[in-house]
Amino acid sequence: MLLNKHIDHTKLGANVLKSQIDQLLDEAKTYDFKSVCVNPIWVKYAKQKLKKTTVLTCTVIGFPHGTHEPNVKKYEAEQAVLDGAEELDVVMNVAAMHQKDYHKIKAEIEGVVEAADGRVVKVILETCYLSDEEIVKACEISVEAGANFVKTSTGFGTNGATVEHVKLMKKTVGERAEVKASGGVRTYDQAMVMINAGATRLGTSNGVQIMERDGKSDDSNSTY
């Protein structure tokens, strides 16, 4: 198993500086991660810097709360694609799930899938706010809407990925989609537990530490 190709090396937040993005990109090149996941404003820059590598450029849509209107999420996805994004991680409208507004959720995911035009779309469920029943329903809707992945968390909620939620998501989607575990995956052991539970992708800002198996992070402010 190529562990590096399970990792979306991530740097998200309101105060991320260019120097931090440069470090992220350098690390991604060194370890040949599957992708880097950055805020939309860094997509063009990341894509340019990674053009001679196999590392993909991923960004987030409707981040971090998922409360954008569907047409806004679609526009954001369209712009991200124009800027060079190859994968899109879109935050589901959690409030709509609580209200059982399944049509709205499906429509917004379909809009992003359409805008992605064949690129990988991952739906962030923010599982810490959902019941098991809602997680199952969210997974079903995401698959029906054409998403490629269901993803546990933004890393900005009350909790991140759990083994139980990853197993439940994988059981629900089966072979129809893949599962991405994110939020709190900081060590090699944690990474392997999530992969063994069914995750094929890990969202983490601790990719280097995971690869070096030391389980330490030099980013004490990281929530991802």
Catalytic residues, by residue number, are 89, 151, 180
Residue 190 CA: distances (Å) to CA of 3, 62, 83, 163, 207 = 12, 27, 33, 9, 12
Q: Which two tokens stand for residue 215?
A: 């389980």
**b vs e for 137-162, b when ≥16 Cβ sit within 10 Å of the residue's Cβ?**
bbbbbbbebebbbbbbbbbbbeebbb
What amino acid occupies position 109? I
> CB–CB of 122/88 below 8 Å?
yes
Element of type H or E holding 89: strand 87-91
